Each structure stands twice: as structure tokens, then as C-alpha cells.
Amino acid sequence: MTDLSVQRTDMRMGSLLALGLLYIAFRLGSAAARLATNPYWAGCLAAPNNPAWRLPQMISDDMASRINAQINRELFSAYFYLGLSAQAESSNLKGTAAWFMAKHGEEMTHALKMYRYLLDQDAIVALDPVEAPPAKTAGITDMFERTLSHERAVTQAINDLVDHAAQEKDHATHIFLQWFVTEQIEEEATVNDILGRLRLFGDQGQGLLMIDNELAGAAKRVAAAAPATEV
Ligand code: FEO
């Protein structure tokens, strides 16, 4: 290769490099101009700590507030079962006490499942005071009748949440809630079954002893089946 052709190749390479640099500078300039004129990013740059510039959460405020209300209901459920467990133990119904204690743990996992969902959706977890559970019940049948009516109310609340998620076309929340729909079917069926046995065998003497023993076994199964929720 002659000196002249080497010189020409160098010049061509130099021009290509200059053009490349010019193109990059142009793209960077237009990106900066777009950033400066975008109200969201301009706001972020001007006041990075202003909460108004927080990226929008993935679910609506209304949906988040309804899930927060459900967290409160689940925490109340846990508290409700804790109260019933204490009352059963005071009446020497150890199996019944263990069953309600296992339900307490299960309800805590329900609350934490929703808590985790809100955080994963970049929504705010707002914890409200939890209502006190009934201080006194009229015996084991009353405990399970209250349990059934409580779970029916929870089922209704879950169904309302599902309806709302569908209305908002919030597919993520709609799918998330399906687990709770299934769980409520199982919970109501279990309590119905216990109530049926109480009515059949009676809530006194031998019948009560038998049911209390059955509940001790069921408590172990509830505790073992409780879904692990990593918070
Ligand atoms: Fe979590 Fe039984 O409602």
C-alpha cells in the first residue's frame, strides 16, 4: 500500500469516527431535551425526594384500600380464634383450644399474604386498629356457630373484593384473590361439618369428649397444611 492510500484510509476512518461521535452527541442531546420537558422526570430531577414523584403503584388506591380493609378482617379473624382458643382451654377443651389456635395461625398467614401482595404491588400497607373479639361464649356449639357466621361474612367480603377487581379489570388482584375464594369454601365446609357432628353427638359428656379428641387431631392437620408466607 502506498503512503497516499494509507493517508486516504486514515482520513476515511477519521471522518467515520467524527460522524459516529456527532451522532452519539446528537442522540444524547435529544434524550436530555426529552427528559427536561417530561414533567415526571423533570420533577424527579428538580426534587428527587418529593413523594409525588414516586412511580405509580400497580394497583389502584381504591383496590389497595379494600385489601387493607381485608387485612384488618383477617387480623380480626386471627384475634377472634385466639380468644376462642383461650375460652376453650379455660373450659378444659384442649383439642378445641388447639384447633382454634391452629386457625389463629392460619388467619395470620392470610393477613400476611395480603400484606406481601400490597408491598409487591408497590402499594401502601395501612394497618388499622383491630376490634376486640367476643369476651364470652355460651359453650362449644356457640363457638362454632359464631365461627361459621364469621367465616360466611369473610367469604362475602372476599367475593366483594373479587367483584371489584373484575370491575376494575385488575387481573393481577383477581388472580391473587382466587386462592382466598377456594380457602373460604374449605373453611366453611369444615366448620359446617364440626357443627353437624356437635348436633349429632351432642355437646356434653361423651359426645363432647369425642369431638374434642377429633379436633386435637384436626388441629395438627390445620397447622401442618398452613401455607408458609415469607414476609
Ligand atoms: Fe382468612 Fe377464614 O378467613
CB under 8 Å, gap of 24 or more: what pairs does 161-165 form? 161/66, 161/67, 161/70, 164/62, 164/63, 164/66, 165/63
As a whole-number percent, the residues of the chain with pLDDT over 70 amount to: 83
Cα 178 to middle of ligand 1, angstroms: 13
Quickly list H helices, the chain: 3-37, 39-46, 61-90, 94-120, 140-167, 171-201, 205-225
Each residue of 19-71: pLDDT tens digit? 777 777 777 767 666 666 666 656 656 776 665 656 667 999 999 999 999 99
Q: Would you say the CB of residue 187 lies under 6 angstroms from ligand 1? A: yes
State residue 128's pLDDT score. Answer: 97
Q: Hey, what CATH topology would domain 61-225 get?
A: Ferritin (1.20.1260)
Atom of ligand 1 nearest to the CA of 111: 1
Q: Which among 159, 154, 187, 160 is positioned nearest to 74, based on CA atoms?
A: 154
Report the Cα 108 to chain-centroid distance in Å: 11
Q: What is the pLDDT of residues 69-100, one digit of tens each?
A: 999 999 999 999 999 999 999 999 999 999 99
Is there a contact between 81 and 41 (Cβ–Cβ < 8 Å)?
Answer: no
State the pTM of this model. Answer: 0.76
Is residue 23 within 8 Å of residue 33, measured between CB atoms? no
Please give the pLDDT value at position 12. 78
If pLDDT is split at 50, 70 and 90, which confidence band does 214 have? very high
Parse the chain into domains and list their residue ranges. 3-53, 61-225
Ligand 1 contacts CB of residue 110 (under 6 A): yes
Q: What's the CA-to-centroid distance between 158 and ligand 1, angstroms?
A: 9
Interval between CA 77 and ligand 1 midpoint (Å): 6
Q: Which three cell numbers stand for residue 25?
A: 452527541
Report whether pLDDT(16) > 90.
no
